[in-house]
Structure 1
Amino acid sequence: MNEQDLKRAFEDVVVASSPPPSMDPGRALDVARKARSKRRSSLVGAVVAVLVVGVGLGTAFALNPKGTTEYMTGAGASSSSSSGSSTGMPDTQWGEQWPVGQSDRTATNGPQADRGTQLLHLLMASAPAGYDTPDLKYKDPSMYGGMLRAQAQISTDKGEVPEIWQYTAYVPVRKGDKVGKLTAHVSMPDPRDPTEPCALSKKFQRAKDAGCKLYEVGGKQIGVASPASLDQGTATWATYRAANGWTVTIMQENEYPHGGYPALDGQLFLAPQLAALAMDPKFLLGS
């Protein structure tokens, strides 16, 4: 305690009282000690806050240098632009095992199911001229439901990062009384996907022995694959990996398996056309 503190304490007591009380050195000393203690506490609190912020930013920078820099400079995304819907990435609320509202991997309502329906409509509109896409029923009694259908499902388990949703659409394509099939499969970025175009295309059917040929579309290499032999089917499919990591596969078949309808006379698309269709940005579902 020094003379200046004593003087300041005395002045505080004088200002707070009217009329001025008689000087009480003991009280003045007590007030001065409390003031000094308060100033010290404020200083320590400020230092601790700076240290905590510094440690937090250091950790964040190690995990995400770009995002931390944006935060420090005030250039970070707004709360609306950082949501899953705006980036194309999921923002899923999970229950005990499955996303809320689901009893298994498949979403039957909500934004993910809507994406599956969107994919179905996009694929239907992609049928070549002269073909229609009716909502046919299976003639095979062992099958149920319609042949025109879509699905959205979560392929990763709760807690896995990144979270991956996949969307699939199945469309019967008819000309006269003959029916073939178009399939579209769209997946959120999967770090396990190979980068080589033919390896990526073969992964779709898990057909390592499939034949594959590269086609260049818009400066990009697309792998167009087909089974190694006719007894494995007549399917042909093209898979495209977009710059953001999303993948799109479009597959065509002369026959709709188990549909019970006569097969088409030939393929719906030539291989280069199929590759170009897989690259159509509309299939990225707003990502």
Structure 2
Amino acid sequence: MNEEDLKRAFQDVVVASSPPPAMDPGIALDKAHKARSRRRASITGAFVAVLVVGVGLGSAFALNPQGTKDYVLGTGPSSSSSNAGVPDSKWGEDWPVGQSDRTATNGPQADRGTQLLELAKASVPAGYDTPDLKYTDPSMHGGMLRAQAQISSNKGDSPEIWEYTAYVPVRKGDKVGKLTVVVTTPRPNTATEPCALAKQFQGMRDASCKTFDVAGQQIGVASPASPDLGTGTWASYRAANGWTVTVMQEGEYPYSGHPSLGEQPFLSPQLAALAADPKFLLGS
């Protein structure tokens, strides 16, 4: 027997000669009672916790069904909720489903265009009306009062970009001007400085521009540098969520054949305030 075998044999003898102490029945019974009480408390606490969570989830589900579903499933908020109001169309081979070109003629995007038209009509000052006039020139097609919703991005582009436009004849007496409202979803490379944003409209980079404060927001109001480039005035606004709104007024309705209004319905501060009106963000 070597030293290691002797050490192991000694340990075995020590363990065998040290039996556990005898169990006291009273102590054992007291420990059992305490253990049972702890188990009951744990079960009751777990039941209350589940009940509270269930009530909380029930209330949350009533307020936000999709968000509650995401919480329970552990999926987190969906991309649509984190980009509220931004379209996400289903595409066919070339265009969003239901379209034969860039223009949506039915469905939710076309509905947004119609909504914008109604908002624009309701925005003209007192003393003016917004009739559904026709062009007097037979070579001009379509009505002068109209809306359009078109996709500006291509299949596979991210983000998907939509542009909504309302064209409104503004009449006073027998004379007619024009109000145009253009709303776009967030797009890359949109200027954030007010006048830079206004100058992006129709590529008018040499337009003259001033900024106006509307409830703490700076709005760019611009006009062409030369009358040869048009006589309109427009205000451009970029919302915090990236949507942009441009409201343009003209003293005439180009190519309509109707007498020119000769005046613009809004002063520049009023036009700026109209562009910043959140109603034009179309629920985004």
Q: TM-score scaled to structure 1, two decimals?
A: 0.72
Q: Does 1:105 align with 2:118?
A: no
How far the C-alpha of 1:162 sits from its partner, in A, is 0.4
Q: Distance in 1 between matches of 2:81 and 2:104?
A: 17
How far the C-alpha of 1:74 sits from its partner, in A, is 4.7
Cα deviation per residue 1:63-89 (whole Å; 9 max; x = unaligned)? xxxxxxx97995823x6xx54798101
Q: Distance in 1 between matches of 2:178 and 2:114?
A: 17
1:92 aligned to 77, 89, 95, which one? 89
2:187 aligned to 186, 190, 193, which one? 190
Corresponding residue of 2:111: 114
SS in 1 for 2:178: strand
Residue 106 of structure 1 contacts residue 154 of structure 1 at CA under 8 Å; is this kept in 2? yes
Corresponding residue of 1:76: 76
Corresponding residue of 2:222: 225
Aligned-residue sequence identity (percent) comes to 73
2:156 aligned to 153, 156, 159, which one? 159
Residue 179 of structure 1 contacts residue 256 of structure 1 at CA under 8 Å; is this kept in 2? yes
How far the C-alpha of 1:91 sits from its partner, in A, is 2.1
Corresponding residue of 1:216: 213
Q: Distance in 2 between matches of 1:179 and 1:248?
A: 23
Corresponding residue of 2:127: 130
How far the C-alpha of 1:211 sits from its partner, in A, is 0.6
1:240 aligned to 227, 237, 240, which one? 237
Q: Distance in 1 between matches of 2:245 and 2:81?
A: 20
Q: Distance in 2 between matches of 1:121 and 1:152?
A: 14
Change (3 A) 1:189 1:253: same
Q: TM-score scaled to structure 2, two decimals?
A: 0.72
SS in 2 for 1:87: coil
Cα deviation per residue 1:226-280 (whole Å; 9 max; x = unaligned)? 0111222210000000000000000000000001111113111000000000000
Corresponding residue of 1:283: 280
SS in 1 for 2:94: coil
Cα deviation per residue 1:161-181 (whole Å; 9 max; x = unaligned)? 000011000000000000000
Q: Distance in 1 between matches of 2:83 and 2:231?
A: 39
Corresponding residue of 2:26: none
Q: Distance in 2 between matches of 1:84 and 1:192?
A: 23
Change (3 A) 1:76 1:149: same
Q: Which runs of 4+ in 1 moved over 4 A?
A: 70-75
Counterpart residue type for residue 166 of structure 1: E
Change (3 A) 1:208 1:83: closer
Corresponding residue of 1:8: none
Cα deviation per residue 1:113-134 (whole Å; 9 max; x = unaligned)? 0000000000000011011000
Unaligned ranges ≥5, structure 2 = 1-69
Residue 84 of structure 1 contacts residue 91 of structure 1 at CA under 8 Å; is this kept in 2? no
1:175 aligned to 148, 172, 176, which one? 172
Unaligned ranges ≥5, structure 1 = 1-69
Counterpart residue type for residue 227 of structure 2: L
Q: Distance in 2 between matches of 1:224 and 1:151?
A: 24
* Aligned Cα root-mean-square deviation (Å): 2.0
In our comparison, the structure showing a higher alpha carbon Rg is: 2
